[in-house]
Amino acid sequence: MEYRYNKLPEMGKEHSRKHLVVLTGAGISVESGLTTFRKSADSMWGKYDFQKLASVGCFQEDPGAVLDFYNMRRRRLLEVEPNHAHNLLVELEKWHDVTVITQNVDNLHERAGSSNVIHLHGELTKVTSSVHRNDPACVRELQLDVPIRMGDKAADGSQLRPYVVWFGEFVNNYEMAARIVRNADVFVVIGTSLTVTPAADLIKCPRYGVPKFIIDPCEPFDPYDDNYPEGYVHIREKATSGIETFIDRMMTL
C-alpha cells in the first residue's frame, strides 16, 4: 500500500522507540464515511433517538427495533474502508510500540492492520448475551452480512444482542486503558469530543511531562472549566491531515 506521506522512514534513523498510546473517537472514522455521534443535524444522534435505540431499557421494550438499528450499522461497515489516519497508525508500528484505545465500535483499526487495539465501547463485529454481556463464553464473532434476528440465542440461552456498550452500562477495559495511558511515552487523542465519560477521563492519566496531543478541528475543552487539562498541543485538523502534522511534531521530540 502506498502513502502520500513520505516522512515516516526518517523516524527510524534518528529516534528511539517509544510507547505511543492513541485514544480515538468517531472523528477518525468519519473520513471513511461513518457518521459521528456529535450533536448536529447529520450526526448519528441527530438522526436517531438514542433513548429508543441504545439502552438496556429500550432493548427490553422493543428489541426488534434495536436489532434493526444495529444490523444497519453492521451492514454499513461492509461499505467503508480504513482511511489514511488508520493506515499511518499502522505504519508507526514499524518505529514505535503503538497501542490504540478506541471509543469506536467499528473494526477499521483492525482492518487497517493495527496489532494492539483496545475497545472501550464494544465491537459491532461481535454479539453477546442480553443477560451476561461480558461473559467470555457468550461473546462471539458474527459476520457483518449476517443479521442478528429475534430468536437467535447466546450460549446462555438468552436473546443475542450486539456486543456494544449501551447508555447506562459500564464501559469495557477502562482500568486496563488507564494503566496503559499512565505508562505512555507519548499520548495522542484523535477525533473525539471528549464528552463521554469515563473515556474522556483518560486525558487526565498521562504522567507529568509526557508529550500530549489532540487532533480535532473542534475545540474539545471548555477553557473556563476548572478541570481544563493542561499541556496538550491541539492540532486543529481532521484526522487524515492531523496525523501527518502530529508525526512532524513527534519527530522533534
Which of the two residues, 167 and 245, has the higher pLDDT score? 245
Question: Does 121 participate in catalysis according to the annotation?
Answer: yes
Mean pLDDT value of segment 32-61: 69
d(CA 139, CA 133): 8
pLDDT band at 4 (very low <50, low <70, confident <90, very high): low
Neighbouring-strand partners of residue 55: 167
Give the CATH number for residue 46: 3.30.1600.10
Say yes or no to pLDDT of 248 above 60. yes
Mean pLDDT is lowest, of 106-110, 191-195, 241-245, for 191-195
User: What are the tens digits of pLDDT across the range 85-106?
Assistant: 999 999 999 999 999 999 999 9
Residues above pLDDT 70, as percent of the chain: 84
- Find the mean pLDDT for residues 168-187: 96
In the predicted structure, residue 48 carries a pLDDT above the cut 70:
no
The share of the chain scoring above pLDDT 90, in percent, equals 72
3-state secondary structure at position 132: coil
Q: Report how far residue 169's alpha carbon sits from residue 136's, in angstroms, rounded to the nearest whole number.
A: 17
Q: Which CATH number do you get for residue 208?
A: 3.40.50.1220
Structural domain count of the chain: 2
CA atoms of 22 and 190, how far apart (whole Å): 7
52 with 153, same domain: the answer is: yes
Are residues 130 and 216 both part of a single domain?
no
Name the residue with cell 453492521.
Answer: 74
Q: Cell digits for 234?
A: 491541539
Q: Are residues 200 and 235 in the same domain?
A: yes
Residues 24 and 44 in one domain: no
Name the DSSP letter for residue 199: G
Q: Which among 86, 121, 132, 234 is annotated as catalytic? A: 121
Same domain for 249 and 195: yes
Residues in a beta bridge with 129: 160
Is residue 143 domain-shared with residue 216, that is, in the same domain?
Answer: no
Q: Tell me what the mean pLDDT of segment 16-40 comes to.
A: 85
The pLDDT tens digits of the residues spanning 181-228 come to 999 999 999 998 787 888 889 999 999 999 999 999 987 666 556 556
In 10 A of CB 93, how many CB atoms?
16
pLDDT for the residue 224: 59
139 and 224, same domain (yes or no): no
Q: What is the pLDDT of residue 11?
A: 64
My answer on whether 221 and 251 are in the same domain is: yes
pLDDT over 90 (residue 230)? no
Angstrom CA distances, 88 to 68, 76, 235, 244, stand at 34, 23, 16, 8
Distance CA 244, CA 239 (A): 9
232 is in which domain, residue-wise? 1-34+82-121+171-253
pLDDT at residue 3 is higher than 50: no
Angle at 234 between CA 25 and CA 251, to 5 degrees: 95
Residues 6+ apart with CB under 8 A from 9: none
What integer pLDDT is reported at residue 167 of this predicted model?
86
Domain check: are 24 and 57 in the same one? no
